[in-house]
Amino acid sequence: MGISANSFCPCGSGQKYKRCCKQYHDQSFQPTPLALMKSRYTAYAIGNAGYIVETTHSENREFKQNKELWKAEIETFCWATTFHKLEILKSEIIHSEAFVTFRAIMSQGEKDISFTEKSRFLQENDRWLYRSGEFL
């Protein structure tokens, strides 16, 4: 887990991590919905559970008041999973709501757990949050 700042970013941008999702992880910039989607994928890939928790809307069904327990669950998932590739299929913003459709190529051991999801993001107080996801 973790990543060097000079490694290629796991989101697949072709940029170094420090020039890509790290800027959002460090909260140097507020991400657009597309950048939020990518930086959340990267956070999963490198085990940055804090970023997942901070960018999840309080009405998301995974949301837990016990942040420490929630982070530990995310870390367990991250450690058990290999994140191979992220493919963005579609991205649209409609006022304070946004949708990003993506395919995440992932595996756990020998098992392929890749999936396609249409994520929904909501803007609150000038920042975007992950509200929910629908499997396609």
Query: In 3-state terms, what secondary structure has residue 130?
Result: strand
> Which among 3-11, 89-97, 98-106, 116-124 is the span making contact with Zn ion, rule CB under 5 A?
3-11
Stretch that binds Zn ion, among 1-9, 44-52, 90-98, 117-125 (CB under 5 A): 1-9
- CA-wise closest residue to 57 among 106, 120, 107, 15: 120
Check residue 104 for interaction with Zn ion (CB under 5 A). Answer: no
Region from 23-31, 35-43, 83-91, 119-127 binding Zn ion, contact rule CB under 5 A:
35-43
Asked if 20 is part of the footprint of Zn ion (rule: CB under 5 A), the reply reads: yes
Of 28, 24, 16, nearest in space to 50 by CA: 24
Torsion, Cα of 126, 86, 62, 99 (10° steps): 50
> How many residues at the interface with Zn ion, by CB under 5 A?
6
Instruction: Answer yes or no whether residue 9 interacts with Zn ion by CB under 5 A.
Output: yes
By CB under 5 A, residue 21 contacts Zn ion = yes
Q: Looking at beta carbons only, is 20 or 106 nearer to Zn ion?
A: 20
Contacts of 1-9 with C-beta under 8 Å, sequence gap 24+, read 1/46, 1/47, 1/75, 1/78, 1/79, 2/46, 2/47, 3/45, 3/46, 9/42
**Residue 32 engages Zn ion in binding (rule: CB under 5 A):** no
Residue numbers at the binding site for Zn ion (CB under 5 A): 9, 11, 13, 20-21, 42
